[in-house]
Amino acid sequence: MLVERFLKYVKIDTQSSEESTTCPSTEKQFDLANVIIEDLKEIGMSDISMDENGYIMATLPSNIDREVPTIGFIAHMDTAPDYSGKDVKPRIVENYDGGEIVLNEGQNVVMSPVDFPEMKNYKGQDLIVTDGMTLLGADNKAGIAEILEAVDYLVKHPEVKHGEVKVGFTPDEEIGRGANLFDVEKFGAKCAYTIDGGEIGELEYENFNAATVNVKINGRNIHPGTAKNKMINSTLIGMELNEMLPVDQRPEHTEKYEGFFLLISMSGSVENTSMVYIVRDHDKDKFADKKQLIADAAEYLNKKFGAGTVDLEITDSYFNMREKIEPVMEIVEIAKKSMEEVGVTPIIKPIRGGTDGARLSYMGLPCPNIFTGGHNFHGKFEYIPVQSMKKSVEVIVKVIENYTK
């Protein structure tokens, strides 16, 4: 059922859209939501609900006669706006030989272990790939299929004892809005796991602290022939601002726990210039220092060129969930132990980005992230080994079991 369900879901286009202001951002996400509702009913879940914004929740009632914490599993229904998710034609490469995979002969799209060396790890396994024209949508339809497979298993195996389990499926994660309208109170879990990670073994509970910095620079344009001591060139001030930021703290020079400043866009002329930066750091103090550094640079320029020359607006976007997970670190320990018990080696590493789980953690629902098994998300080279998906299901079931111990 796992693979069939997954293949059924990826064929439904659910691409979200940043341009839209509605929730879900695209009406077509309801196409998948309605199918999921039917599947939840068929499995025999309780309290199945979908609100007007497309958030789905359902309950697997406890089958144990003592108090056990209620836990939840969450996945998102949308696919990334960056790449087409329409007419996805998944194909299963059985018993993969470790070599190149021709995704599309006509278009000459070939996926090669030279470009993607991790492919070699799956020799002899069954890989689900695209036809080279769309993304696959394992991000995050694999997560949905895995969660449903796990609860389906538990319904069919009442001898496996478990507490109350909640499942939640959200729209618009890929445009950063998946947590916005998530009703944490209604969900009613003590903690949850997003099943939205990549390769088998991934377990994540740390992500960036994130802020956006909007810079407006006011210059003074004047005919260059008579500009002496009068012209203030806002674009050059913008360049000066950028030069005051550390060169080694740019995304192209950083990894692991190293944070960065990224100049996302800059446009301007002599009179006015605007710049947008994003600032990222896992460490709370270093994050604060980074924001201070850019503020200090602006202040220096205002002293040099006159008050009001550089106008800075710093807005926090999200924070590292680690702060909210550490007080309940056992939820990470249980996930880690569960992986080991089903023969999966945990790969614990900080996320160099944010997740809906991070936002939910700050909304009162601590929410680490567990692997789906997929690779190369958001593009035509996306693929997922069936064996990794099965392990994800085993991990989910084991986590649920381990909460009774």
Active site residues per annotation:
78, 173
Q: Contact 196/353 with Cβ under 8 angstroms?
A: no
Contact string (CB under 5 A) for Zn ion, positions 84-123, x = contact: ----------------------------------------
User: Whole-number minimum distance, CB 76 to Zn ion, in Å?
Assistant: 6
Which of 172, 196, 202, 356 binds Zn ion (CB under 5 A)? It is 196
Min CB(41)–Zn ion separation in Å: 25
Our finding on whether 146 is near Zn ion (CB under 5 A) is no
Among 39, 78, 131, 139, binds Zn ion (CB under 5 A): 139
Question: Judged by CB under 5 A, does residue 140 bind Zn ion?
Answer: yes
| 369 scored as a contact of Zn ion (CB under 5 A) | no
Span from 44-52, 133-141, 209-217, 278-286 in contact with Zn ion (CB under 5 A): 133-141
- DSSP assignment string, 292-332: HHHHHHHHHHHHHH-TTSEEEEEEEEE--THHHHGGGTHHH
Distance in Å, CB of 197 to Zn ion, minimum: 8
Q: Are 267 and 273 in contact (CB under 8 A)?
A: yes
Residue nearer to Zn ion on the CB measure, 188 or 350: 350
Residue 23 vs 215, nearer CB to Zn ion: 23
Query: d(Cα 213, Cα 264) in Å, to the nearest integer?
Result: 10
Counting residues that bind Zn ion (by CB under 5 A) gives: 3
Does the protein bind Zn ion through residue 78 (CB under 5 A)? no
* Nearest residue (CB) to Zn ion, 197 versus 238: 197
Alpha carbon distances (Å) from 78 to 32, 240, 331, 365: 9, 41, 27, 21
CB of 10 to Zn ion, least distance (A): 13
Segment interacting with Zn ion, rule: CB under 5 A, options 7-15, 138-146, 264-272, 286-294:
138-146
Handedness of CA 101, 106, 109, 112 (dihedral sign): positive
- When asked if residue 204 is in the footprint of Zn ion (CB under 5 A), the reply is no
CB of 84 vs Zn ion, minimal distance in Å: 17
Residue 382 touches Zn ion, criterion: CB under 5 A? no
User: What whole-number distance in Å separates Cα of residue 194 and Cα of residue 182?
Assistant: 13
Q: Which stretch binds Zn ion (CB under 5 A): 48-56, 188-196, 220-228, 289-297?
A: 188-196
Q: Are 141 and 133 contacting, i.e. CB atoms less than 8 angstroms apart?
A: no
| Residue span binding Zn ion (CB under 5 A) among the ranges 18-26, 51-59, 99-107, 192-200 | 192-200
Nearer residue to Zn ion within complex by CB, 137 or 259 = 137
Longest dimension (CA), the chain: 88
Q: Which is nearer to Zn ion, 164 or 196 (CB)?
A: 196
The yes or no reply on residue 376 touching Zn ion (CB under 5 A) is no
E strand segments, 112-227: 127-129, 165-170, 191-197, 202-204, 209-218
| Residue 176 beta carbon to Zn ion: minimum distance, rounded to whole angstroms | 11
Q: 321 CB contacts (<8 Å, ≥6 apart)? A: 205, 206, 207, 355, 357, 358, 361, 362, 366, 367, 368
Nearest distance, CB of residue 36 and Zn ion, angstroms: 16
Mind giving me the DSSP string for 376-402? STTSTT-BEEHHHHHHHHHHHHHHHHH
Tell me the C-alpha distance between 143 and 123, whole Å: 23
Nearer to Zn ion, 98 or 353 (CB): 353
130 Cβ neighbours under 8 A, 6+ residues apart: 88, 89, 90, 91, 103, 136, 380, 381, 382, 383
Cβ distance to Zn ion smaller for residue 146 or 196: 196
AA identity, residue 4 = E
Residue type, 166: K
Q: Give the interface with Zn ion as residue ranges (CB under 5 A).
A: 139-140, 196
